[in-house]
Structure 1
Amino acid sequence: MIDQKKYSRIIRVLVWIALLMLPVFILTQSYLVGKQESKPTQAEYVGKESCIECHQAEYKDWKGSDHDLAMDYANDSTVLGDFNNATIERNGQTHKMFKRDGKFFVFTDGEDGSMKEYEVKYVFGHFPIQDYLVEFPGGRLQTLALTWNSKDSNWFYMADSVYQNMGVDHNNWLHWTNQAQNWNSMCADCHSTNIRKNYDVATDSYHTTWSEIDVSCETCHGPASEHLKWANLADYARKDIENYGLVIKTSGVNNHQYIDNCARCHSRRSIMGDFNPHSHSIYNHINPVLPTEPSWYIDGQIKEEDYVYASFTQSRMYMNDVQCNDCHNVHSGKLVLEGNKLCLQCHKATDYDTPNHTFHKSYGEKGEGLVSAAGVKFEVGSGTQCINCHMHGQNYMGVDYRRDHSFRIPRPDLSEKNGTPNACNQCHTDKSNRWAANHIKEWFGISRPFQYGEAFSASLNGDSSADSSLHIIYNDDLFPTSIRSLAINYLSDSPKNDSLIREAFFSIEPKVRVTAVERFNLRSQQDLEALLPLLNDETKAVRLAVINKLSFIDESQIPVRYLNSYKKVKKEQFDVLIYNADFPVGKFNLANYYYKQKDYKNAEKYYLKAIEQDDELYMAKINLAHLYSAMGNPQKAEEILKNYLIDNPTDGNAQYDLGLVLSENKKYKESLNHLLKA
């Protein structure tokens, strides 16, 4: 028989033990969590499947987006193009797209110019075009010139649209089989997640890898393994941790930080290495290009394929804290509102969505539509839409219409002066700039605000009086960083500008510091002393700008206190040169590096490789001629310069160089002839 009193006593003891142990258990769990936080591990990529359960709405938006469809394996569900024995005629050759055994093939001009068969391995994008990738030796993927127009459902040959009248054939580096159309170096970084290029300069080959084939969650949020650990903890053990364990912050940041997250892909830029999500600044990975000619117009309007960052960062929107997700659903990429409603989130309808502001016919009124300079059809009423006057666009890649995100006030008066485009004449192609300017005066009065492009244009045309305007622009914080950087960029070489440039060394903005270093003239030891502290700048782009500026300074001139920093940044520079040595210009820069180190053998090797890759890289030919002259081989230098001048007879510098080389070769009469041509 059970002793009830004894049993009850045992139960009470066990309950008390459990109650006493509960705080210990909780403290232990908290301690373990704390220990986990005190020794942070490097976050790893886990894949979008790990995100879906908790983030279904975001996943639903993302599915089918440009990011989702950025790249995929070629199969019946991903290939949009007509591979049902479709053909396209070009230069007397018949290109064919077809299927065999469930696989996709093209018959097109190959690396030697002859027609060959290639299997399509991957699709690239989906709308308004879809590109196709084929495998080549050395781990290369090449982008076919045969491109599917998803808007009009037809094939076209991309090179004929992008490189018009350039006669691109298999010998040209722009041909689809050559480096300009190489996926590993030109495309991969922004079409897949966690790309590691893995270029081997010794074998000129790639072993490129990705975590996910498309632009997935962790492309923008960073590797999520630590976030996943945190999310999988019980509620009582889930501590408040920085950014929920995610590596990249997309909330609780200012618009500059937010937009910089997008800039590593949505910008025209130079790249300094594979993306490191743990880096605190984009300037440790990329150096966005300033909006200058020839890629932009002198006032910063888009010209070439410039993407968005350099445009948007010029705008008043950027200066007033607007960021990408104010207009775009960041997961679907779609606009958050349609038509003028998008702009009326901030701008008053009574001021701007009215005939007294637009001066154009409304939808439904009688009239004829227009076809813009970019070939876009605009119906009657389109002139009342904000974006058509303040975000005109251009076609890229043949049929991809993209709008300028610098949000311009149309200035046909400046089009007359500087040759820049304006929205009025982009639509009214049959009218003159003067016609448009007169209408602007009639509607808005004769007063026009100062536009920074006026100062930039004056400077570019050699007007040193523009310096005073450039000083004003730089010192005015109402101008965005990119414009203030451009003001430094366009300063004349006058010593009176040196103090302003030195002041810019201390800007909080990396782009200003980079531009100041690039623009700085080393005239004295004092100048050198002013520059050297920036070897310890927190951002790689600034440090590299400094080491490039020091290229012609002998190491013996570097003060001892800066020598370690100098050597460290020199190593950084070399690593970046190796990373980019798959490009012709990359090989050229690597050759220059070796040339300055007096390593003539490697300098010659990479000049020749650069020229082999791009026969029109003329600066490599000029430098190679200089190298041969330095090596005591003026005969080779003469040969190279003469061949170069066949294609470039008006190059005065090359004529001068050839004159000197001919003098070395004791051909004095011929030397004088070329010196006179210089």
Structure 2
Amino acid sequence: MINTRLYNNLMLALVGALVLLLPAYLLIKTYASRPDESMQEAPHFVGRETCIECHLPEYNDWLGSHHDRAMDEANDSTVLANFNNVRIKGNGMVHKAFMQNGKFMVNTDGADGTMQDFEIKYVFGFTPLQQFLVEFEGGRLQTLPLTWNTLDSVWYHMADSVYANQDIHHNNWLHWTNQAQNWNSMCADCHSTNLQKNYDHITDTYATTWSEIDVSCEACHGPSSNHLKWAALPEYARDEYENYGLPIKTSGINNEQYVDNCARCHSRRSALGDFDYTTQNIHDHIIPNLPDVPTWHIDGQILDEDYVYASFTQSKMYTKHREVQCNDCHNVHSGKLLFGTDYNKLCLQCHSADVYDSHSHHFHKEAGMPGEAVISDSGVKFDVGSGTLCINCHMHGQYYMGVDYRRDHSFRVPRPDLSIKYDVPNACNQCHADKSNQWSENYITQWHGESRSHHFAETFDAARNGKAEALGQLKNIIDDELYPHNIRSLSIQYMGNYFQDSLKQEVENYLSNLYPDMRLAAIRAIQLTSEKDVDILLTMLGDNTKAVRTEAARMLSSIGKEQIPDKYKTVYQAALKEYEAILKYNADFPLGKFNLANYYYNQGLYSEAEEFYLRALKQDEELHFIKLNMAYLYNKIQKNDKAELLFREYLKHEPTDAVAMYSFGLLLSEMKKYDESLSILIKSHDLQPERPRIAHNIAMMHDFMGNKAEAEKYLKQEAALINNYNTRAELLRFYINNNLTQKALKLATELKEAYPDAAELDQVIEQLQQRN
């Protein structure tokens, strides 16, 4: 029998224990289980104010930085320029900056070329220049060419500084009211946080939004709502959450991952859509351009506005040392250099001062020594002592946007020998602009000897000039992991351009490479000339990188969906849908419209293709090649009168395009305009006499028109260019059809000797002998 008193005491003790344990249980339940579920929610943007409490030093660094002042509403505190009824001369006109009812205004040439008043809604940047945005219909913000030089406190016109040799009239693509100066597509995604472009390709309008007007904390760290939840947890409950609840890792990563975080803005690139915070594979949202001519010099030095990524990823700092990254030199929150103007100190973090910060290395005078300053090719004054600064020999730069001096981040060794060979810059002559490249080369030889390491520029130039030795050199670069992978990718591109047969033997190896840019380059280098090419591309439709699989889909779209095997149709349609979304995202550009039109053409949607070809041409009237594509389209849909007009218009601007001329000649023949067709075909042949097919068609036209001697001449030319059975048999048929029996018998006998297995020739020879 149970002791009642003992039982009651026991139960009271247990209840007491439960009461004591319950708060701990509830605490764990509240702060562990529930956050675990909520942390699975997609994060959203919460704004920089939520960061200040815990990250005040970083916030203070950021405040006033280029990122902070990347964009602002126009007001008295943000506008730096003089709007006190200032007259500004530029692009052959007189413009005016003034105030009106408290608003910042300009009088300048508008979309129709007439002088009009425009209100400035936003400012863009602050030093060394500040630009201004004007609001237009359709959600557009356009960047004025009237620009404030904050270094010298003067106005200047961008057309005079950047497009000095071009006629920038109101219909020109580069005019400030047109797409080249459109904020939504050209600037916005790198000047604001959580930028959603929201372009509608049907209405050609924007509904662009942002979370914060400038480049704030979440632009780099990603939407931080889950980070706030993580921060609210007790320390013991935080460990199970990856990366502090942030979607983008900025610590505990290698230099490649770190640099890639910056690449989406600090690179010349094409966009695959709005920035995807769910992946750190940059090829899921951008495709950085490879450092190739004409945007870069052939040795990879900056030329056009190329930004930093493709330069830095060429450098030994990035590829060989594999630990150097942006924050080794820059405070990433302020953007400033770590040691102010003590530039050499940046380099001496890794490089020994005794070796590198010495006269025996730089061979230049120290500050204060006698001598005269030099004026560089960019107009920069370099005082005595400037030559001792590492950046002036290894990071020389040039001006962009008129007044913005940017340094090349490839950290290269000056090579005057390459300047002599390929007319590329070198730091010696960029400073000593009054001296020759040979003068600099003589000093380099005096200091370092005659030996020079092989540079990829030498290989690329050899390939461009058709030299056979370039093939082996390209293969060596591709296979050498010590080379930057963008240079290896570019080598694949060169191999596809100039050594296609060799590429076919290697391409599958390149498509299995770890780096997405190398796989992408390999896909783009493929020419769809065989079933094997198609099979290779089909296997790439399932690639884990968006840029790669959509590029495979793009190329396969040209062969028609009926050619896609059943087992690949699902993955093909998925990749094709992604590719179509990319096209629509970029259809605000004229080339984007052109690419979308090509896609519609390949899908057999000819009316849609026509619409977007026309839109692209309207947006940029100088893209004459669009007329050529439209001509092919009209020929396809039996509108040959329109096709003829477009061929004529295109060839006015491109009179040496032999391929287009050949196509035009065939069109004229189809339209029964035989005399002009023959004339055009002959012009095409004169431009490209090495193309046998042109000679064949000229021969057929002469034969049709009764010019037998001319027909024979061109058939012989075709046979000389392609000396095989088919071309010589074509000449034999011509002889037989025109009763040229002796010539026919002679050629048939020669063919039989060359091709003894061609049994059909026995009967031909017998019949010809009977005729003879």
Report the TM-score when normalising by structure 1.
Answer: 0.96
CA contact (8 A) 1:127 1:150 kept: yes
Tell me the residue number matched to 2:302: 302
Tell me the residue number matched to 1:360: 364
CA contact (8 A) 1:296 1:303 kept: yes
State which drifts further: 207-216 or 320-329. 320-329
Equivalent-residue separation in structure 2 for 1:446 and 1:496 (angstroms): 34
Tell me the residue number matched to 1:385: 389
- Structure 1 residue 350 displacement after superposition: 1.0
Tell me the residue number matched to 1:24: 25
**Correspondences of 1:92-103 after superposition (within 5 Å):** 93-103=93-103
Seen in structure 2, the aligned counterparts of structure 1 residues 237 and 604 have a Cα distance that, compared at 3 Å, is: same
Larger C-alpha radius of gyration, 1 or 2? 2
For residues 22-59 of structure 1, what are the alpha-carbon distances to aligned partners after superposition, in whole Å with 9 as ceiling and x for unaligned? 4323332344346426x600000000000011100000
Question: Is 2:591 the partner of 1:585?
Answer: yes
Equivalent-residue separation in structure 2 for 1:651 and 1:525 (angstroms): 30
Equivalent-residue separation in structure 1 for 2:407 and 2:92 (angstroms): 36
**Correspondences of 1:380-419 after superposition (within 5 Å):** 380-419=384-423
| Structure 1 portions without partners, runs of 5+ | 1-10
CA contact (8 A) 1:645 1:655 kept: yes
The DSSP-based 3-state class of the residue aligned with 1:122 is: strand
Seen in structure 2, the aligned counterparts of structure 1 residues 484 and 296 have a Cα distance that, compared at 3 Å, is: same
The DSSP-based 3-state class of the residue aligned with 1:347 is: coil
Seen in structure 2, the aligned counterparts of structure 1 residues 92 and 528 have a Cα distance that, compared at 3 Å, is: closer
Tell me the residue number matched to 1:666: 672
State which drifts further: 118-127 or 89-98. 89-98
CA contact (8 A) 1:272 1:286 kept: yes
Tell me the residue number matched to 1:203: 203
Tell me the residue number matched to 1:119: 119
For residues 437-485 of structure 1, what are the alpha-carbon distances to aligned partners after superposition, in whole Å with 9 as ceiling and x for unaligned? 1110000011111111110111112223201001111111111111111
Equivalent-residue separation in structure 2 for 1:629 and 1:16 (angstroms): 89
CA contact (8 A) 1:29 1:237 kept: no
Tell me the residue number matched to 2:330: 328
For residues 103-137 of structure 1, what are the alpha-carbon distances to aligned partners after superposition, in whole Å with 9 as ceiling and x for unaligned? 10000000000000000000000011100000000
Tell me the residue number matched to 1:497: 503
Tell me the residue number matched to 2:748: none
State which drifts further: 156-165 or 396-405. 156-165
The DSSP-based 3-state class of the residue aligned with 2:558 is: coil
- Structure 1 residue 183 displacement after superposition: 0.4
Equivalent-residue separation in structure 2 for 1:228 and 1:34 (angstroms): 11
**Correspondences of 1:154-553 after superposition (within 5 Å):** 154-235=154-235, 237-319=237-319, 320-321=321-322, 322-337=324-339, 338-491=342-495, 492-553=498-559
Equivalent-residue separation in structure 1 for 2:392 and 2:362 (angstroms): 11
Equivalent-residue separation in structure 2 for 1:509 and 1:123 (angstroms): 39
The structure that is helix-richer by fraction is 2
Tell me the residue number matched to 2:644: 638
Seen in structure 2, the aligned counterparts of structure 1 residues 502 and 91 have a Cα distance that, compared at 3 Å, is: closer
Give the AA of the match of 1:501: V
Q: CA RMSD in A?
A: 1.8
Tell me the residue number matched to 1:8: none
The DSSP-based 3-state class of the residue aligned with 1:94 is: strand
Equivalent-residue separation in structure 1 for 2:29 and 2:262 (angstroms): 41
Seen in structure 2, the aligned counterparts of structure 1 residues 350 and 92 have a Cα distance that, compared at 3 Å, is: closer
CA contact (8 A) 1:362 1:384 kept: yes
Tell me the residue number matched to 1:49: 49
For residues 505-560 of structure 1, what are the alpha-carbon distances to aligned partners after superposition, in whole Å with 9 as ceiling and x for unaligned? 11111001000111123343233223311100001100122112223222222222
Seen in structure 2, the aligned counterparts of structure 1 residues 31 and 68 have a Cα distance that, compared at 3 Å, is: closer
Which fold has the larger relative contact order, with Cα–Cα distance below 8 Å and residues 6 or more apart in sequence? 1
The DSSP-based 3-state class of the residue aligned with 2:627 is: helix
* Percent identical: 57
The DSSP-based 3-state class of the residue aligned with 2:559 is: coil
CA contact (8 A) 1:365 1:380 kept: yes
Equivalent-residue separation in structure 1 for 2:306 and 2:286 (angstroms): 15
- Structure 1 residue 15 displacement after superposition: 6.9
Tell me the residue number matched to 1:647: 653
Equivalent-residue separation in structure 1 for 2:592 and 2:367 (angstroms): 52
Equivalent-residue separation in structure 2 for 1:544 and 1:408 (angstroms): 35
Equivalent-residue separation in structure 2 for 1:610 and 1:41 (angstroms): 41
- Structure 1 residue 641 displacement after superposition: 2.0
Equivalent-residue separation in structure 2 for 1:628 and 1:280 (angstroms): 44
CA contact (8 A) 1:67 1:191 kept: yes
Tell me the residue number matched to 2:609: 603
CA contact (8 A) 1:394 1:403 kept: yes
Seen in structure 2, the aligned counterparts of structure 1 residues 632 and 370 have a Cα distance that, compared at 3 Å, is: same
Equivalent-residue separation in structure 2 for 1:460 and 1:386 (angstroms): 33
Aligned residues: 669
Give the AA of the match of 2:419: S
State which drifts further: 18-27 or 451-460. 18-27
**Correspondences of 1:564-575 after superposition (within 5 Å):** 564-575=570-581
Seen in structure 2, the aligned counterparts of structure 1 residues 166 and 91 have a Cα distance that, compared at 3 Å, is: closer
Equivalent-residue separation in structure 2 for 1:500 and 1:479 (angstroms): 18
- Structure 1 residue 261 displacement after superposition: 0.6
Equivalent-residue separation in structure 1 for 2:412 and 2:652 (angstroms): 44
Give the AA of the match of 1:126: F
Seen in structure 2, the aligned counterparts of structure 1 residues 20 and 573 have a Cα distance that, compared at 3 Å, is: closer
Equivalent-residue separation in structure 2 for 1:514 and 1:674 (angstroms): 39
State which drifts further: 263-272 or 647-656. 647-656
- Structure 1 residue 625 displacement after superposition: 1.1
Equivalent-residue separation in structure 2 for 1:366 and 1:42 (angstroms): 65
CA contact (8 A) 1:33 1:237 kept: no
CA contact (8 A) 2:91 2:157 kept: no
Tell me the residue number matched to 1:558: 564
Seen in structure 2, the aligned counterparts of structure 1 residues 17 and 572 have a Cα distance that, compared at 3 Å, is: closer
For residues 406-442 of structure 1, what are the alpha-carbon distances to aligned partners after superposition, in whole Å with 9 as ceiling and x for unaligned? 1111111111111211111111111111111111000
State which drifts further: 250-259 or 82-91. 82-91
Give the AA of the match of 2:307: Y
Seen in structure 2, the aligned counterparts of structure 1 residues 500 and 125 have a Cα distance that, compared at 3 Å, is: same
Seen in structure 2, the aligned counterparts of structure 1 residues 30 and 145 have a Cα distance that, compared at 3 Å, is: closer
- Structure 1 residue 98 displacement after superposition: 0.7
State which drifts further: 468-477 or 229-238. 229-238
Give the AA of the match of 2:333: H
Equivalent-residue separation in structure 1 for 2:426 and 2:156 (angstroms): 30
Question: Is 2:61 the partner of 1:61?
Answer: yes
State which drifts further: 591-600 or 244-253. 591-600
Equivalent-residue separation in structure 1 for 2:98 and 2:418 (angstroms): 51
CA contact (8 A) 1:458 1:466 kept: yes
Equivalent-residue separation in structure 2 for 1:149 and 1:645 (angstroms): 43
Give the AA of the match of 1:331: H
Equivalent-residue separation in structure 1 for 2:14 and 2:516 (angstroms): 67
The DSSP-based 3-state class of the residue aligned with 1:616 is: coil
Give the AA of the match of 1:108: T
Equivalent-residue separation in structure 2 for 1:20 and 1:543 (angstroms): 55
Tell me the residue number matched to 2:753: none
Displaced runs of 4 or more, over 3 A: 11-18, 234-240
- Structure 1 residue 12 displacement after superposition: 9.7
| Structure 2 portions without partners, runs of 5+ | 1-11, 685-772
